[in-house]
Chains A and B, each alone.
Chain A
Amino acid sequence: NAGVMQNPRHLVRRRGQEARLRCSPMKGHSHVYWYRQLPEEGLKFMVYLQKENIIDESGMPKERFSAEFPKEGPSILRIQQVVRGDSAAYFCASSPLVYTDTQYFGPGTRLTVL
């Protein structure tokens, strides 16, 4: 059973470009969470999704950031018009369909904005 997969692992963008980060949850998991980690800090919650639904986006910046988890395919975190402050590691976590609290994390995408 493969773990949570994220791609790309590293992404470099220039200011003003768009960044798309992908997350494939573990098999059988239908809950996806996105977190952001700045250097030498803990992870900060961004958004929680189930298939085709955004359940909690209280941690998402109001502008430029969006997330989706379609019926088919991976979850996407999209950042439009990136700025240098968006440089961070973005982690995706998933948990199973049956209600459980344990979240399993992917390896992360390290976004660098030049």
Chain B
Amino acid sequence: GESVGLHLPTLSVQEGDNSIINCAYSNSASDYFIWYKQESGKGPQFIIDIRSNMDKRQGQRVTVLLNKTVKHLSLQIAATQPGDSAVYFCAESPSGSARQLTFGSGTQLTVLP
């Protein structure tokens, strides 16, 4: 079946460096994508989203890139801080659906001092 998956389960970066978290999706009908951050024992926290009619969107210290040709999504975090340590999930939603989200398995980001 179609699914959303992440390339790497863990990522360690030095404080102050930039982080890049990748995600592959296989449902070509997906037209909406979201990145969530989940800290231990908490619910997913919305970070940034992007629609399929865009290829880049920027927020505060975060940028999401969408490459529809290869069905790839990435999250870039600038100047990574200790508070960024968490599990990051990409999620996708196909057009015309009741907007149920399909989540990837997550990437654990660890920021090293």
Q: Which chain A residues have a beta carbon within 8 Å of chain B's beta carbons?
A: 4, 6, 31, 33, 35, 40-45, 48, 55-56, 58-59, 91, 95, 101-108
Contact = CB atoms under 8 A, between A and B. Distances in A.
Nearest to B104: A42
Contacts, number: 63
8 contacts: A33-B101, A43-B89, A44-B103, A58-B100, A59-B100, A91-B44, A101-B34, A102-B49
* Of listed B32, B36, B99, residue having the most chain A CB within 10 A: B99
Number of contact residues on B: which range applies? 20 to 34
Contacts of A107: 42-43
Given A40-B105, A59-B100, A108-B42, 6 more contacts: A45-B101, A45-B102, A95-B99, A105-B43, A105-B44, A105-B45
